[in-house]
Amino acid sequence: MCRKSIYLITVVLALGLARYAFAVDAEIPTASTAPVVDGIKEDAWSASKENKCLYAVSGDKPKSAADLSCNWWAMWDSDNFYVFVDVNDEDLQNDSAQSYEDDSVEIYVDIGNDKQDSYGGDDYQYRVAWNSEVPEIEEHYHSTRSLVGMEFIVRKTDANDGYTLEIKFPWSALLKDAKAAIGDLMGFTIMINDDDAGSGRDTQFSWQEGTADAWSNPSLFGTVKLVGGLSLIKASSPKPSNGAEGVLAELIQWTAGVNAKSHNVYFGTNPTPGDDEFRGNQTKTEYKYPAGLDPNTTYYWRVDEVNDASLWPGDVWSFTTVSLTGTQF
């Protein structure tokens, strides 16, 4: 990453959430650790799933991923809503009077997910313009009221092949007396404006299809759901229960993480299971130790969830087998 293009500006957003019956387009997990707003996608963002922008909703279709492509991640905690956007763009421009005509990121939020066809008091449209000198942010419906307490950074990549945007929206002004909670829904979408030649916007690229008029119609936003974090992504609910004693059966079972495609199973007597305890990758959520169990022995096991290229290490669980000493018949 190139450090000369790092800028921090403080601003807010205002939110209030609800629960309605809409199809959910993405789940936003809780942050296990609050990310540092520095434009660098550090380990804290591993709690979030990658989402890709796929649709040219106006203008020309990108010629290649290097010409224009975009991924985004989002997380939340009791205080803030976090968004990280990674834009690949080999030609960055900022020379127009209107920021949407230049390279910029647009973030749309509908608090309550009420899907109205015009903007109201809880609908927001933010635009962060690429600028090699001073990145700028605008909110188009609530003036400076919705920019208090926000933090954001635009950072050019080291390879000069695009830029990142990291932004923190405080809940405080938006939720008022309420609090964000697991299960809450928001309207949400992300769009990227691309200017290749310095003569105005060539392409508007979107996470979702059919959002070209989202600037005036919040009903076109997608729907996201606030969910738990690593506690839902990791394997959970071990059987036998963690720390159980007097166990007889060789069978262990667990509940899969929400995005798991398969499971790496570790089992043995090592309190920190490693390569020697690796028993293989499988799709079933149960495993039977073929060697059988020794009496009065503590066994340790772990299940790492595999989701495509991502690996979610599990917690180490244990149980102790039944003691045969003094058994009466």
Q: What is the pLDDT of residues 257-294, one digit of tens each?
A: 867 889 999 999 999 999 999 999 999 999 999 989 99
Question: How confident is the model over 177-200, as a mean pLDDT?
Answer: 88
Per-residue burial over 224-243, b = 16 or more CB atoms within 10 Å of its CB, e = otherwise: bbbbebbebbbbbebbbeee
pLDDT band (50, 70, 90) for residue 190: very high
For the stretch 196-209, pLDDT in tens is 988 899 999 999 99
Given pLDDT bands bounded at 50, 70 and 90, which one contains residue 148? confident
Share of the chain above pLDDT 90, in %: 57
- Distance CA(285)–CA(255), nearest Å, equals 7
pTM of the complete model: 0.67
> Sorting pLDDT into bands at 50, 70 and 90, what band is 48?
confident
The answer to whether 200 and 96 are in contact (CB under 8 A) is yes
Q: Which amino acid is at 185?
A: L
- What structural domains and CATH numbers belong to the chain? 3-227 (2.60.40.1190), 234-321 (2.60.40.10)
Residue 217: pLDDT band (50, 70, 90) is very high
